[in-house]
Structure 1
């Protein structure tokens, strides 16, 4: 990848389009947003794939990320907690949800790249049955 560094941004071209990164939210994506977004993208698509392979029907998946940064250590990210909200008509036990969560953690390449230095958790919250 090639990056062009300007006054407020660093830019690169991707097959999807131009990506602007900046510490100024008005000029581009903040680096920590891209970092957490890449972990969410990897783990979220992997979760979807696992559910499909296990033939678990789902209607909707949302993923929330909470994080802890340490201002005394260059504002480094120390913890990331992902919670996946899965709307499914299938009956899934808490044990099955935990097993799928562990599969996501152990098979997501982006999470595996940082798991030794950042505390990463992945939890699935099930909403079995149709939404009212």
Structure 2
């Protein structure tokens, strides 16, 4: 990848398009947003793949990310807690949800790249149709 350094931002051209990065939200995506988004993108698509392989149709799925930053240590991210809200007609026991969550944590390459330097959790919660329509 090649990056161009500007006064208040860094940009790169990807096959999808131009990607501006900046600590100033008016100039581009903030680095921590992209970091968490990359983990969410990797783990979320992996979760969908796991459900597909288990022949569990997903009607709707959202991924929420809560994070903790340490302001005393360069504002580094120390914890990320993902919660997948999944709407499906299938039942999922707590044990199955824990097993799938563990599969996501162990097989997501982005999470595996950083899991030794921060706490990362992944939980799955089934939601009903009424809940997901209120979230939209």
Instruction: Work out whether the TM-score is over 0.5.
Output: yes
1:58: how far off? 1.3
Name the CA distance, whole Å, in 1 between partners of 2:57 and 2:29: 34
Match of 2:117 in 1: 117
Q: 3-state DSSP class of the match of 1:116?
A: helix
Name the CA distance, whole Å, in 1 between partners of 2:91 and 2:122: 20
Q: 3-state DSSP class of the match of 1:62?
A: strand
Q: How many residues align?
A: 130
Name the CA distance, whole Å, in 2 between partners of 1:88 and 1:114: 31
* 1:131 correspondence with 2:126: no
Match of 1:73 in 2: 73
Name the CA distance, whole Å, in 1 between partners of 2:29 and 2:11: 10
Normalising by structure 1, we get a TM-score of: 0.97
Name the CA distance, whole Å, in 2 between partners of 1:57 and 1:2: 39
Equivalent runs, 1:20-59 vs 2, <5 Å: 20-59=20-59
Name the CA distance, whole Å, in 2 between partners of 1:119 and 1:80: 6
Normalising by structure 2, we get a TM-score of: 0.94
1:121: how far off? 0.2
Match of 2:19 in 1: 19
Q: 3-state DSSP class of the match of 1:47?
A: helix
Gaps of 5+ in 1: none
